[in-house]
Amino acid sequence: MRSLSVRITCLVSALVVMGGCERQEKPPAPPPAPTPVKASAPAPVMPSQSTTEAELRERLRCEVLLGFSGLLAGQQEFFGEKDTWTADLKQLPAPAACTDGSRVSTLDGAWLAGCHFRYAVSVAGSHPDNSTFSVRAVGVGGLAEGLTYTMTHGYADRRPVRVWPSELVLEDCHGVRRPEGTPLPAPLCEGASNLKGFFTAQKSYFGEKDRYSESAVQVYFAPEPCLDGTRAPVPDDTWTAGCHFIYRAEVSGTAPEQTFRLTARGMKGPVVEQKLTLDSQYTWSPADPGCTP
């Protein structure tokens, strides 16, 4: 997103009184027939400044949401290797710059610079099962000035913890009108990508045990919740909840001659009532949506 300075262009009606511009010795020219626009027609309604500002503020919220999402993914990757969170900014992905390559200024080396926000990272605790990290985003300049958001993720007494700003729960950040940053996957791709992960988990488990399992916990399949930490509701304990979808495995046959069928069912938001299945022969129903893992 380019500069936030919004210029509201004042449109002047193209209708002018032509008679006042004619030489006096000539009769006025007859009006064209038919007249395209009557003199009494109202001027075109243009977007108000408040509407434009509201849209820009929404784009700012999407920008910081995507910034948090990228830093969350970076921390999770680091944790997977080191069993700890990091406050070393060199280990984390930099938030996206503006489309022209510019970034906001940083106060010192303790901040990461994005397009309209700077980000600070802190870590609390040291034990893997009882530690969290926090990210603070501070807006710089224009409409971003004064905007501050904080998210926290990690574990407390072995229980997952995620605190997410309520203003940053925005479905529209999946859309084409996105700001700077890696876009979130479309809601349908959440289900498809998790089914691919579930498929890989089943195949890995079979490689070790010569059988498949209907237990997501057993095969180490754990879909991510929504960014605010919430999950879709499940009807019973045969299902495992992600953000918009819930997942279930059905195993047929006797080990090692077994097959499985995985199901993703949309439970909320834009994917309610949508259903995807993937079997042990990698057959999709309906067809593979083509989403990357």
Q: Which residues contact 193 (CB under 8 A, 6 or more apart)?
A: 185, 291, 292, 293
Nearest to 158 by CA among 123, 129, 125, 185: 129
Same domain as 116, residue 60: yes
Residue 215 lies in a domain: yes
Alpha-carbon distance 160 to 76, whole Å?
A: 12
The total domain count for the chain is 2
**What was the pLDDT predicted at 51?**
56
Q: 2 vs 5, 56, 67, 184, 288, CA distance in Å?
A: 9, 11, 17, 20, 36
**What was the pLDDT predicted at 55?**
82
Same domain as 274, residue 206: yes
- Asked if 94 contacts 121 with a C-beta cutoff of 8 angstroms, the reply is no
Q: Which helix (H) or strand (E) holds 257?
A: strand 257-266
Residue 5 lies in a domain: no
**What was the pLDDT predicted at 172?**
67
Can you point out the beta strands (E) in 48-201? 111-113, 117-124, 132-139, 148-156, 159-163
Residue 220 lies in a domain: yes
Start-to-end CA span in the chain (Å): 28
Residue 24 lies in a domain: no
**What was the pLDDT predicted at 45?**
40
Q: Which neighbouring-strand residues pair with 149? A: 137
Residue 194 lies in a domain: yes
Regions in the chain scoring below 70 on pLDDT: 1-51, 172, 174-183, 292-293
Domain limit, last residue, from 141, 174, 207: 174
**What was the pLDDT predicted at 152?**
97
Residue 262 lies in a domain: yes
**What was the pLDDT predicted at 291?**
80
Enter the pTM of the model: 0.71
Same domain as 91, residue 166: yes
Same domain as 222, residue 158: no
**What was the pLDDT predicted at 11?**
33
Domain limit, last residue, from 152, 174, 196: 174
Same domain as 167, residue 193: no
Residue 164 lies in a domain: yes
Which structural domain range is residue 207 located in?
187-285
Same domain as 166, residue 81: yes
Residue 38 lies in a domain: no
Same domain as 231, residue 207: yes
Same domain as 193, residue 253: yes
Same domain as 149, residue 218: no
